[in-house]
Amino acid sequence: MRFPVLPSTFALLLSGTAVCLADSGGFEQFQTWQVICSQARNCTMRQFLSGSAIGQLELRRDGGPDTPLSIAASTDNPAFSEDARDVRASVSVDGGAPVSVSPGDIRYDPAAAVWVLTGDFIGNGLVMAMKNGASLHVMLTRGEAVAEGDVPLAGVAASLLFMDDQQKRVGHTDALSAKGDKPPFPAVPFREIRTLAELPEAIRNRFAEGGECADTEESQLDGSAFVHQLSGDEAIYATPCGTPGAYNTPIAMFTESFGVISKMAFPVLHEGAPSTMADAYNLDYDFETGKLSAFFRGRGIGDCGTYNAWHMSRRQAGPVLVLDRQTSKDCDGKDLDGPENWPAQWPLR
């Protein structure tokens, strides 16, 4: 697909085991900051800190008009595990007075294993101070336990500008760095799904005991599941469905048409004849073009396996997939410039 992911899923994206949600222009690095933006225009600025109690810090902002910002901090201090309570947090720039975060604005994100800080102070003051500062001090406390770290701010200004550009905010009133007079850009009809609760009940039931997706961990959804709203009455959902392998993750797609949920079939060629498969592996989807592809890896280096490409089409009963290309290759160690260029089973020659 075309859209980046966040920390827990970025490694999966690189290894080809998750839905690919990263646009080719959605990742850049500025100094020690990495900026990742998804097809849904959700963006994360992050930095890894060596030798610090705060091992990673992120600045997050989802796509959509006037969306707020949040800070995510990770620590390996066991006092701040998922079960921790009464966690407090504060931030300061260049030794200035620390800003305490309201207890109601602190929560744990189990999918990414980070503590998330929210509040209007981030967009109204802190971001500007980070653009002009040298170091951000972040502190988490819980009773007598303390986890703190200093985050270098070189590259923040360029990172924020890149985020504005990726989120179509340059020149708009809700920009972080390139603010202008234009009203916020409308939201795209494409949204990432991070929890089972965001799925329609008819799809969610498939994750219950005995369902076809029962072996799927909820954490697999983050960065690998989405909904594309085709119209007011039709939508497409994609979600991991089943246990991922070493190199491959099964993805199921569903259509919702006038309240009716149906599972989509992936057309393929099998033993030289037309067939279908229920799930695609390592799916890539571009909602703007309606094109999809999947690459089932025969082994980790990706020099063998099966590659399929489809496009979305419409019929009276709703959207369907049409097979455009299928290639495959044995694990013979030969380099044929990627799966798109392997020997083709479809179209027939």
Over residues 313-341, the pLDDT tens digits come to 988 778 999 999 999 999 988 877 889 98
**Residue closest to 44 by CA, chosen among 2, 92, 9, 7:** 7
- How far is it, in rounded angstroms, from Cα 178 to Cα 132? 15
Q: What is the DSSP letter of 219?
A: G
Instruction: Look at residue 9 and tell me if it is in a domain.
Output: no
Parent domain of 90: 41-166
Q: 207 and 335 share a domain?
A: yes
> In this predicted model, what pLDDT tens digit does every residue of 170-217 receive, in sequence order?
999 999 998 999 999 999 999 999 899 999 999 999 999 999 999 999
**Residue closest to 5 by CA, chosen among 211, 137, 316, 15:** 15
Instruction: Look at residue 105 and tell me if it is in a domain.
Output: yes
Of 166, 199, 228, which one is at a domain's C-terminal end?
Answer: 166
Q: What is the DSSP letter of 265?
A: P
Average pLDDT, the chain: 90
Instruction: Look at residue 1 and tell me if it is in a domain.
Output: no
Q: 201 and 302 share a domain?
A: yes
Q: Is residue 223 very low, low, confident or very high in pLDDT (cuts 50, 70, 90)?
A: confident
Q: Is the pLDDT of residue 15 over 60?
A: no
Of 114, 131, 166, which one is at a domain's C-terminal end?
Answer: 166
Q: 151 and 84 share a domain?
A: yes
The number of distinct structural domains making up the chain is 2
Q: 266 and 312 share a domain?
A: yes
Q: Is the pLDDT of residue 119 over 90?
A: yes
> In this predicted model, what pLDDT tens digit does every residue of 21-50 receive, in sequence order?
434 348 999 999 999 998 889 999 999 999
Q: How remote is the C-alpha of 73 from its chain's centroid?
A: 18
Q: Do residues 52 and 150 make contact, with C-beta atoms less than 8 angstroms apart?
A: yes
**pLDDT at residue number 242:** 92
> In this predicted model, what pLDDT tens digit does every residue of 261-301 receive, in sequence order?
999 999 999 998 999 999 999 999 999 999 999 999 999 88
Using CA atoms, how far residue 234 sits from 71, 258, 311, 317, in Å, is 34, 6, 17, 11
Q: 150 and 194 share a domain?
A: no
Instruction: Look at residue 115 and tell me if it is in a domain.
Output: yes
Specify the pTM. 0.78
What is residue 261's three-state secondary structure? strand
**Once rounded to an integer, what is the mean pLDDT over residues 73-94?**
95
Q: Is the pLDDT of residue 110 over 90?
A: no
Q: Which two tokens stand for residue 177?
A: 């760095």
Q: Is residue 111 very low, low, confident or very high in pLDDT (cuts 50, 70, 90)?
A: confident
Q: 194 and 299 share a domain?
A: yes
Give the percent of the chain with pLDDT over 90. 80
Q: Do residues 115 and 126 make contact, with C-beta atoms less than 8 angstroms apart?
A: no
Q: Is residue 155 very low, low, confident or very high in pLDDT (cuts 50, 70, 90)?
A: very high
Q: 306 and 216 share a domain?
A: yes
Q: 150 and 251 share a domain?
A: no
From the number of C-beta atoms within 10 Å of its C-beta (0-12, 13-18, 19+), residue 83 rates as exposed
Instruction: Look at residue 233 and tell me if it is in a domain.
Output: yes
Q: 148 and 254 share a domain?
A: no
Instruction: Look at residue 268 and tell me if it is in a domain.
Output: yes
